[in-house]
Structure 1
Amino acid sequence: MQLSLIARFTADLAALWPEDSREGSLGLAVSGGGDSLALLLLAHAALPGRIAVASVDHGLRPEAAGEVALVERIAGERGIPFTALTVKLATGNLQARAREARYSALADWAKKTRLGAVATAHHADDQAETLLMRLNRGSGLPGLAGVRARSVIGDGEMPLLRPLLAWRKAELASVVADEGMVAAQDPSNANPDFDRARLRARLAETDWVDPAQLAVSAAHLAEGWQALEWYAELDWHEMVMRDDTAPGALGYTYCANVPRVIGIETILRIIGALGGYATRAEAGRVWDRLWQGKNASIGGVLAQAGVEKVERVGVMMRVWHFRPEPPRSAAN
């Protein structure tokens, strides 16, 4: 393998997982497809003796067992520890359930084998497809930020890394071809029943869309979202006060004086602290009602609008009170 490719991968990985903070080997999620095989080859060259591989069989296709066996053979030839994982899917959206089950299994594997992080082979073309799909659905900023370069899985302690987000799919295919390998082909990647497959086919027909630049835009959006999350954390600590004045009912008082996108995050956090649940869209509708001076109910929480003088700043402000909804009386 070219030294320039190894150096590039090493730098991309270090940006997400600094060497001085690493504890344990790097786990790789490898399906047998070209992208993940390239990840295996690059990581093996950059971190010899410090990687482990897992392959997940979702039980959806008869070919999956053979693909897992392919990955096991390739890992074994290189002396890389390998684990086969089998998952059962819950009912619902097939791709979403498969993703949830896969990450849960990977997190359990990484924890049991004491890995330092897990990496997947998401690349620039994946990121471009994700951004365009979410733009088409009217997603908010969290969705438009796309696939994160670094996140967590499992109980929130295992880092999930995507060091190939700046790499094109064709580059990864070349890495595999140069090693004389033939990657497995998942027919669902070209199945027009899936939105992503239809979009991928249309992008292949277009020469003016640059997936690499779309991926860069998604990275910029992710940075913007990170800044908003930081501001929302500040808003929670500085403008939300615990309220124990009502008998037997914990509540929160929120002095709302931020842009709507920040306030939505704070409302979500208040609802969660009171044992409720809401989507961002629902929290946005609550913000709109409260801003208009109307009360709202969401996720088992009552929100009361008001305007009060806030002593700490000495001015009148919108002050909203949140409490759990009282239990409903049984029908006679």
Structure 2
Amino acid sequence: MSPRRAPPPSASEMTPVPPPDAAVARFRDDLARVTAAAFDGATTPAQVRIALAVSGGADSMAMLALAAAAHPGRVVAATFDHRLRAGSSDEAAMVARAGAALAVPHRTLAPIDAIAGSSIQMRARVARYAALVDWAAAEGAAVLLTAHHGDDQAETLLMRLNRGAGLSGLAAIRPWRFDGGVAVLRPLLGWRRAQLREVAQAAQMPFVDDPSNDDPRHDRTRMRALLAAAPALDPVRLAASAAWLAEAEAVLARLAERLWKERWRGPDRPFAVAQEERELRRRLVRRAIIAVRESAAIVLPAFDDSTNVEPLLDALEAGRGAVQGGVKVSPAPAGWRFSVAPPRRSV
């Protein structure tokens, strides 16, 4: 199935039309707000470039038009061609032509190795962000903007709720995060999908509709259909709830970081966190296991900061030791001790 294109004009025929002034002002304010949050109140210098990840969909093409109008001369754009379906190179070329019409330099990126295997969407995401962040850094951009919006946020929150996610997962799409020295910003989380489509159309920007967005095999597609069929569920309010959850997550993350710095003294030394709330213990136990694994170069079994550690916490609360991720955790009066687990005896 080929992508569905928006009505004329085509990319080759387009003449840039500035987006509505109100939309440009709103975008400028939203970008300034998320930038200040990411950089502790600071703003990026006026000469620093602003990098955009532009896929060719209506959302990202609207962002391209808004950014070019709000910060002329500072914007660069890139499209990551996953090379997973026919026509993707044509879409990247469409974005390049639109960028040229707006005086925005554009580059098409592609994976070094073919994206294949299980969890292909996850692999595609990892490859995409790695390439985009490297490109942004090479361009001298302090920030990389993506076009995630309020509907995306609401859909993500519902998907995470349906999977029984914890607080970190329910924070959903974060307004900003750092990847290396580049801040990945989402200034459009307060915008609706329909609003961005209107901006793209008003600016006479070409765009494509990805047919995978209608594929019922994807969780996101099903959540999108649920929202469409339940008008009582307001995506803006759901997105606002995700923002509140993200604030709570940030508070807990800072507290866990403080406890870590105060009390972690290295492997096989008492880690006095048994009296903390379970959520803090959960975070600190994971971090301790990861620290021991890194120091001992343990790679198997798999373990990361989202691994389920509930049985381990239950055992420690009951005064029993346990092994997880190749790390032995033992309770003691002065605190829990973490050490490399001895190899299993063969039968």
What is the TM-score normalised by the length of structure 2?
0.86
Give SS of 1:274's match: helix
Equivalent residue number for residue 30 of structure 2: 12
1:264 touches 1:280 (CA, 8 Å); kept in 2?
no
CA-CA distance at 1:132 after TM superposition: 0.4
Q: Return the alpha-carbon distance in structure 1 between the equivalents of residues 88 and 78 of structure 2.
A: 13
Q: Return the alpha-carbon distance in structure 2 between the equivalents of residues 222 and 20 of structure 1.
A: 22
Per-residue displacement from partner, 1:159-185 (whole Å, max 9, x unpaired)? 100000000011101101112234111
1:119 touches 1:161 (CA, 8 Å); kept in 2?
yes
Equivalent residue number for residue 116 of structure 1: 142
2:98 touches 2:206 (CA, 8 Å); kept in 1?
no
Equivalent residue number for residue 143 of structure 1: 169
Q: 1:252 aligns with which of 269, 277, 280?
A: 269
Equivalent residue number for residue 342 of structure 2: 326
CA-CA distance at 1:240 after TM superposition: 2.5
Equivalent residue number for residue 97 of structure 1: 123
**How many percent identity over aligned positions?**
40
CA-CA distance at 1:202 after TM superposition: 2.3
Q: 2:280 aligns with which of 262, 282, 304?
A: 262
Q: Return the alpha-carbon distance in structure 2 between the equivalents of residues 284 and 225 of structure 1.
A: 19
Equivalent residue number for residue 310 of structure 2: 284
Q: Return the alpha-carbon distance in structure 2 between the equivalents of residues 252 and 49 of structure 1.
A: 55
Equivalent residue number for residue 291 of structure 2: 273
CA-CA distance at 1:325 after TM superposition: 1.7
2:321 touches 2:331 (CA, 8 Å); kept in 1?
yes
Q: Return the alpha-carbon distance in structure 1 between the equivalents of residues 196 and 321 of structure 2.
A: 54
Gap change, CA 1:68 and 1:280, over 3 Å in 2: closer
1:133-282 alignment runs, 5 A limit? 133-153=159-179, 156-242=180-266, 250-256=267-273, 257-275=275-293, 277-282=303-308
Q: Return the alpha-carbon distance in structure 1 between the equivalents of residues 313 and 49 of structure 2.
A: 45
Instruction: Give the partner amino acid of 1:254.
Output: F
Q: Return the alpha-carbon distance in structure 1 between the equivalents of residues 323 and 270 of structure 2.
A: 15
Give SS of 2:208's match: coil
1:128 touches 1:211 (CA, 8 Å); kept in 2?
yes
Q: Return the alpha-carbon distance in structure 2 between the equivalents of residues 279 and 225 of structure 1.
A: 14
User: For the aligned residues, what is the CA RMSD?
Assistant: 1.7
CA-CA distance at 1:24 after TM superposition: 2.4
Structure with larger RCO (C-alpha < 8 A, sep 6+): 2
Per-residue displacement from partner, 1:257-288 (whole Å, max 9, x unpaired)? 21111111111111121125345443233222
CA-CA distance at 1:295 after TM superposition: 0.4
Equivalent residue number for residue 80 of structure 2: 56
Per-residue displacement from partner, 1:91-140 (whole Å, max 9, x unpaired)? 22121111111101101111222211100000000000000011011000
Q: Return the alpha-carbon distance in structure 2 between the equivalents of residues 24 and 285 of structure 1.
A: 49
Q: Which runs of 5+ in 1 are unaligned?
A: 243-249, 309-318
2:144 touches 2:184 (CA, 8 Å); kept in 1?
yes
CA-CA distance at 1:152 after TM superposition: 2.0
Q: Return the alpha-carbon distance in structure 1 between the equivalents of residues 96 and 58 of structure 2.
A: 15
Instruction: Give the partner amino acid of 1:7.
Output: A
1:29 touches 1:54 (CA, 8 Å); kept in 2?
yes
1:122 touches 1:164 (CA, 8 Å); kept in 2?
yes
Give SS of 1:55's match: strand
Q: Return the alpha-carbon distance in structure 2 between the equivalents of residues 143 and 261 of structure 1.
A: 13
Misfit runs of 4+, over 4 Å: none
1:300-311 alignment runs, 5 A limit? 300-308=326-334
1:308-319 alignment runs, 5 A limit? 308=334, 319=335
Q: How many residues align?
A: 312
Quick check: 85-94 or 109-118, which moved more?
Answer: 85-94
What is the TM-score normalised by the length of structure 1?
0.89
Q: Return the alpha-carbon distance in structure 1 between the equivalents of residues 245 and 154 of structure 2.
A: 13
Question: Is residue 2:101 matched to residue 1:84?
Answer: no
Name the structure with the higher strand share. 1
Per-residue displacement from partner, 1:18-53 (whole Å, max 9, x unpaired)? 463447211100011000001101111111000100
Give SS of 2:231's match: coil
